Amino acid sequence: MKFLSRLLVFILILPFLCGVALVVGYVLFIVLTIPQLPAWAQPAAYEWLFDIPQYAETSDNGANSTGESSSPAGPSAVPWDGYIEPGAEIHGVPLYGPLQHWSTTYDKPLLGCVFHDPRYQTHTGVDFPVNEGTPVHTTMAGKVVWAGPNGPWGNLVVVENNGYQVWVAHLSVINVSVGDILAYGDVVGLSGNTGNSTGAHLHYGIKQKTGEDTYVWLDPQMFFSEDEVIYIGCGG
């Protein structure tokens, strides 16, 4: 009789013990395994474990879902310079293959969150998941009007020409200075995970001046073709 009673108790508490074992194993995995990963891989590992959307900025510097906005105020504002020179055409992507995301090498950039992504409707550009330290190129010849930290954008470079600005954000290293005149394809810095970023990636945005104090964000996908990227989706 005692054996049956003990067996019944064991059967009743077995699910509880299994649950405790799973929780302990999960915690040990986080504590012991993730710190052993490379520094650039650790944020994405935490995002995967806790289901945090990756590669997303939660603030887009005055933009709204309808597009047109008044000039932003505060420390994240980037002024318009008025620079106009030949070569203002925007085309291509700011990353050149081959490049790496995690431990895999790709022949062209991965495209994550897109412009006004369904998961992130105020997104004013596109995101390229890429390992920290990857060279970032300007997609337009022009003048550097911002090169430095900028609130949620982290380390930001902005190149202007003929009423357009090309923004590349979350850089780990900036290789240009305000006032520099760049040719198409010049390297402006290295990709990173600075500012309001939850994983190593490059945020790429294009801004058009529409009036004295107004502008509109444009969809960068209008300026490059589908075969120039590998689409993986937001959080992919």
State residue 153's pLDDT score: 93
User: Of the spans 16-20, 182-186, 212-216, which averages the highest pLDDT?
Assistant: 182-186
Instruction: Provide the pLDDT confidence category of residue 118 given band limits of 50, 70 and 90.
Output: confident
* pLDDT tens sequence across 141-160: 999 999 999 989 999 999 99
Give the range among 20-29, 114-123, 152-161, 176-185 with minimum mean pLDDT.
20-29
CATH of domain 52-231: 2.70.70.10
26 band by pLDDT with thresholds 50, 70 and 90: low
**In contact, 57 and 196? CB cutoff 8 Å:** yes
Name which of 125, 98, 104, 108 is nearest 202 in CA terms. Answer: 125
- Count, residues in the chain: 236
- d(C-alpha 117, C-alpha 133), whole Å: 26
Listed range (67-76, 123-132, 135-144, 192-201) with the worst mean pLDDT: 67-76
